[in-house]
Amino acid sequence: MSNEYKVDEHQFLTFRVAEMTKFLLAICIVLIVPACGGGGGSSSSSTSTTSTFTSSGSSGSYTTCSATNITTSTTCSTTSGTISYLSSGIWKFTRTGSTASNYLLAYDGGSSQVVLIIDTNDSGGYGYGHYVGSTQTAIDSSGSLGSYYFSGNNGEAGTVTPTSTSYSSSYKLAGTSYTGSGSLTYNSPWNGFVTVTPTSGGGTQTAVIAGTGLYALRSNVANSIYYSVGMKTSN
């Protein structure tokens, strides 16, 4: 059985694994957190990654594909490496040509989605940064989407309520209250992502919905370091 996953970093990433018993093996999409990126993490281009594992579910290999969704370009290969299962939902992976160890934590996010938290420590390739991801599935925006608490790396904190086409937010920054709004385009640029266009501020943002109660978002503006994470408060 194979699954697809989506993840969050300053660039987009997808990787395919196979799911065997308790071991996570899948396809994910990623957004790299801009404040942490180095090497490959400083780019704002799209990236997809494919991982293929041995039948034991304990080790295997992976490949990455820059600027393309792996589900539509299965032959693209930008980097490759090895990956192995450690314990308690933790995996270690190493890029070919590097000795740096990178790690990911996988857990059940509900709604048949596995949530991934990935830490990269590869100065010559993936850079220093983290990803937040989940199983790659198309987002159904027809029902109630609930509300989320969120916090940004610029110090803002508040609540945001999405609809099928837009969002509204209320937050505080440096003790001052603000409101925000904008449009949402679901399953853009790929399934599982959301393109966010604020009414003011310029540029766009990309968010990923992880499991049933998390999201991660970052700015698409060049050299921007803004990102935020949110937790669902109500349906």
pLDDT (tens digit per residue) in 51-91: 555 434 567 777 777 667 777 776 777 778 888 888 888 88
Give me the percent of the chain exceeding a pLDDT of 70.
Answer: 71
Query: Please, what's the b/e burial string for 213-229 (b: 16 or more CB within 10 A of its CB; e: otherwise)?
Result: bbbbbbbbeeeeebbbb
Q: How far is CA 14 from CA 26, 33, 145, 161, 190, in A?
A: 9, 15, 24, 27, 10
**Range ranked top by mean pLDDT from 94-98, 139-143, 209-213:** 94-98
Quick one: pLDDT at residue 100? 96
Using pLDDT thresholds of 50, 70 and 90, give the confidence band for residue 211. Answer: low
> How would residue 130 be classed by pLDDT, with cut points 50, 70 and 90?
confident
Domain co-membership, 45 together with 151: no
- Give the number of domains in the chain: 2
pLDDT of residue 49: 54
CATH number at residue 175: 2.40.128.20
Residue 140 falls inside a structural domain: no
State the average pLDDT over residues 9-27.
45
Report d(CA 61, CA 104) in Å as an integer. Answer: 14
pLDDT tens, residue by residue, 143-156: 768 899 999 999 99
Average pLDDT, the chain: 75
Q: How far apart, in Å, are the Cα atoms of 167 and each of 184, 186, 206, 209?
A: 7, 12, 14, 15
Buried-exposed string 120-157: b where 16+ CB fall within 10 A, e elsewhere: bebeebbbbbbbbbbbbbebeeeeebebbebebeeebe
pLDDT, residue 60, reads 77
Residue where a domain terminates, one of 135, 170, 189: 135
Determine, yes or no, domain membership for 215: yes
Q: Are residues 130 and 195 in the same domain?
A: no
Question: Is the predicted pLDDT of residue 43 greater than 70, yes or no?
Answer: no
Q: What is the pLDDT of residue 34?
A: 45
Q: Which pTM does this prediction carry?
A: 0.77
More confident residue, 226 or 31: 226
Number of Cβ within 10 Å of residue 16's Cβ equals 24
Range of the domain at 110: 2-135
